[in-house]
Amino acid sequence: MLDDFNPHAIARKIAKRMRKKRLSLNISQQALSIKSGVSLGSLKRFENSYEISLKHLLQLALALDSLADFQKVFSENDYQSIDDILIMNKTKERERGRNT
């Protein structure tokens, strides 16, 4: 599905899942705002227009006990077999980007 590669669509899905979780826990926007430390305006903007800072998104995730979901972002690859490890050892990792 093309939406899987569209940042706005991904943000929309995350906002809708967050709202659904908030409602399933019977937490009002005001209560979540207080619990998370995210302003009510930022929370409403996220639920309505899907815009939020990473810091505030993480604060909301923490307040909704969903912070662990972010641990996989930019994580190392999991190895499925010894062959995967051998292949990865042959591949040289870049240590830093070049400034051009």
Q: What is the pLDDT of residue 49?
A: 97
Q: For residue 98, what is the enclosing H or E element?
A: none
* DSSP track, 16-73: HHHHHHHHHTT--HHHHHHHHT--HHHHHHHHHH----HHHHHHHHHHTT-GGGGGGT
Q: Which segment of 35-49, 54-68, 77-91 scores lowest on mean pLDDT?
A: 77-91
Per-residue model confidence as pLDDT tens digits over 53-78: 999 999 999 999 999 988 878 777 66
According to CATH, what is the number of the domain 2-69?
1.10.260.40
Q: What is the pLDDT of residue 81?
A: 72
Residues 60 and 55: their CA atoms lie apart, in Å, by 9
Q: What is the pLDDT of residue 23?
A: 97
Q: What is the pLDDT of residue 98?
A: 62
Answer yes or no: is pLDDT of 10 > 70.
yes
Name the amino acid, one letter, at 63. Answer: A
Q: What is the pLDDT of residue 74?
A: 79
